Each structure stands twice: as structure tokens, then as C-alpha cells.
Structure 1
């Protein structure tokens, strides 16, 4: 992608890619933070991060600002994670499923049928569960700024309605690069195919895959519904998004600026949720108008099929403790 190449070329020319983040400060003391998201410009997470930038600029009199690279302009989420870890970018929004293998505590947030509803998820994220997960990113040169919930993840495909796990047998489903999601699809009878988010639309069109799983808002904003006309309300996961910052970039800020950024990140969750709730309603209406066929699922059958997956993770003490905390809030 040309934007990403131009961005990295600029970093290299300035000697920034291998330098400390303090090299990004202008001579007059101003600094423009960089942020990335694979979602489109009007997506709720993008809007929330842009809100952080606006508030930063106002609170510091323009001394701090933020430039948002949306729509995957700087590459895939996996690339953004590494770029943040090494200080090439400052902030990135990443789907928690893409973090499962490197950051074990995020696995609890992604496991199937851990959360009963959006309200249950938000109670967990706003309390000790969310705080513990965010602290876990410190182990690999990242700062967890906030967690953005993003609704129920459900299955959609190009072939037929999915009402029970038997309907998934033999179908190829895109999954993120997460062991949890790959095994979940296998237990449900499907064939998991790891792909980057930006490759899903063309994979559906060319029949490289038969379907995928995601939230309703992403299904709509990515226009994947133009290729996949069947949406099945499996609500198998409520895996949220995480807002991360480079530890190097964070530490290079003044103490007061670090506190300001953390406060704004926490407050941006409310901004994101308001945008999310409004846009999810309008997205559902648009999908129905476009002819997408929506059906309910046999949820007890889905829960029974993935039970072995949950059992394995219960054997990990740290995950089991966090799981119990989550379920206590149901």
C-alpha cells in the first residue's frame, strides 16, 4: 500500500524508525502522534481516536496533536502491533483476537460464550477485568490505553442460513490469526482459513472462503454483505478491540501529558460506545434493505459444540481466575 510505503520511507529518511520517540518532537516542542486503524473513516473506533486527538490539541494549546491513518493505510493489524512495539507509530487500535497468541489474558475476552450480552461485556471491561487485561500489555513494550467493545460476533456466508453447527460442516470460514478462533471453527465443523481483515471481501468474491465471522457494523462498513448474503445470529464471541500505544512513545511524553492521554483514552470509550450503538442500529436496517437474510441460531447447540475449547482454557490458572471474575458479573 503506497501510504504505508511513503510513511515508512519518511521514517527512514528522518532516522526515526531506529531512533527514540523523542526524535519525533519538533524544535518548537510540538508533537504529532500517529495512530492507525484498519477500519474506515466513519467507523466508531476511528471516530473515538480522532476525538482523543482533538481533545489533546485543545488541552495542550496545539502542543500535542494526532494524525489518524484509517482504512488500513499503514498495513494490517499484525504489522501495526509490531510498528507500535518498536516505536515506528504511536497508537493503534487492534482487534483482541489478533492479540490472543502474544498476550494470553486477551484470550478470556475472545473465548466463545463467555459473555452473555453487550451489557455484561461492558461491566467486565469497565472494572477489574478490563484493567487487568490492559496491564498485561506492558510485558511486550506496549501500553494498554482502553478497550472498545464492538458487539456480538456472528457468522455470515455466501451459501445458506446457518442455524446449527451441522450447517457449517465443510464450509471454509475466515478467522483472525488466533488459535482460539481456529479451533472453534473446527469444533463447529467448518474449515478455518486465517486471513487479514482487508482480504476478506475479495476472498468471499472469489470463493477462496465461504464465510467469515465478525460484528454487524464491520460486516456492513466493509461491504462484505455484497458478497455474503446470509447472516446468522450465533453471538459466539464478544471479543472487543484494544487501543494500544508504544511504550517508547508513551515514556517520551511529559508526566502530565501521559496522565492527560490516559484520561482521554478512558473517556473516549463513552464516545466510541455512543457512536457504536447508533451506527449498529442503522447498519442493521441497511443490511435488511440490501436483502441480507438474517436468522437466529440454536445457541445451546453451539455452546455444546465449543465446550471442549472452554474446558482446555479452564486448566490455565490465570485464565480461569479471570474467567470467574467475568462470569461473576453476568
Structure 2
């Protein structure tokens, strides 16, 4: 049975020791003592405390020996500081919205975490509201966003207060933003804020990692109707290149000379219907007809029965470009 332990100051040194031991190497006791600024005797006592909590810390005697954290057969108590506890709560809340199949376990874990948090952290997390958008492919880069920033933005969304912030990337021109925040969004490892820009009189989707709030924030505002009916529908539509309806602006289909089982893993949010032993029809969408045509050509297979005519025309455009790239007149 595992326990969740929120770290208080008297035992915070255990967390530091555990963090060092989690680096898979042998730590001489004198080096641990120097890192923790304590005596060798204190290190030995703290190691025994970790062992009593269920952590398997092995010790090798001699001048070349030291302490090492071994893999255990049971989950020992988990120790968290403020930042780790907030980050874990945010991750659990986000997981509830992504259709990951762990909803029940995540709810129980989040309930357990809230029960042991001190009031100051529980109050900060109570107003945390996130919209998650599953299924959107990422580019592999995940900018770092601090839990404090997420909590501050979530608070202005909850309280319906005008956000004052600087906006822009480091090394580029930074502009001022003044807007009415309506939703905090998690999508493919990035965080976004949907806000009504008061200066441009239009909706904007802002990258949270490029936002620097400048409190105190402004007056309360009345929420505006969001195109598409919800934060998720509107942001999903914009990610697909649409104005407000959560669907691709260009949708079509084609027969691929491949079994459906070989196409489905690469179909994204498209659908695949088996139409023969070695044939299937792929229904897919994209932000442009050229983009959709290019996605069909990813498959190493013959293509036929393409619909609609706009998609057929886009394939012709790509065929011409490919011919010219080969030095052959189309």
C-alpha cells in the first residue's frame, strides 16, 4: 500500500536526499553530507528513515562504496514539495479531459492529493479550470510553463477579470495585451488562452508560454458568446483552419489499395472503411485541398475513386509540381 506525503519543512531534507539518490549512481556518504550540509551521522539517520518508509536504499562499505536507491517491489510513500504537488494536480485534472481511459483512477488520485494538501495550495487549485483538446498532433517541442502562471491565468478566467499582460517571444518585439480571458486550453503539450482582445475587437488564441501577466488586472467583465458554442469547439476549429465550426474546411475521401489495418494507425482523425481484402476508403480532412492531397500521397499505394472534384484537382496540381521537380514537362 502506498502513501502520499506532503512535505513540510522539518522533513524537507528527506526529499532532497531522495532526489539525489534517484540519480542512478553510488553516492559516498561524505558527498551526500556535503550536498545536504549536514553531518555523516545525519545522512545515515536519514537513510534509515527512508528505509523505514519503504525505500530500498542499499549501502556498499569501503572507500569506493556508497548509497544507492534500488528498485522496490512495492510503491513507497511519495514525497512532494509545493511545486510538485501543484504540477501533479494540474496533470491529473488535465488527464480527466483527454479521454485517456484513466478517468476513475485520476479522480481518486486527485481526491487523495487534495485531502493532504495544506489550505493555501488547495485554495489555489480549487479554481483551476482547463479545457483539453485531444488528438491534435504536436511538433515535439514543449515549452516550459510554470504552475504559478497557469494558476494565475485560471484565476482571471474564473473571476472574469480583464487580463493585462506582455505578449511575445524572447528576442522578438513584445506587445501589450489587454483582453477578456474565457478559457485555458491544453493541447499536445502546449498551453493556450482564449481571450477577446479589447484593442483588436476580436478573438485571439494566445500561447501561454509567451504571456507575462502584469497585475493588477482590470475590471470584471460579462462573458461573451463564443463562436461554435464552447472554448473547445472554437479552438479546435481554429487549429483546423476553420472559422468557428469544429471541422476541417476541406474534406474528402479516396480508395487506397491497402488493407484498412495498415492505414488506420496513420489516419489521424480520419476514418477508414474496409471495402475489400486489400482495399479501404479513407475519409479525411485538412486545412487546404493541397494539404489533403499530400496526405493521401503519404501512403505507398495506388489511389482511386477520389472525391470531391476539388481533391482530384489538387492531386493534379501536385502531379504537375512533381513532374517539374523531375525535369519532366507535365
TM over 0.5: no
Larger radius of gyration: 2
Give the strand-richer structure, 1 or 2: 2
Higher relative contact order (CA 8 A, sep 6+): 1
* TM-score (normalizing by structure 1): 0.27
Give the helix-richer structure, 1 or 2: 1
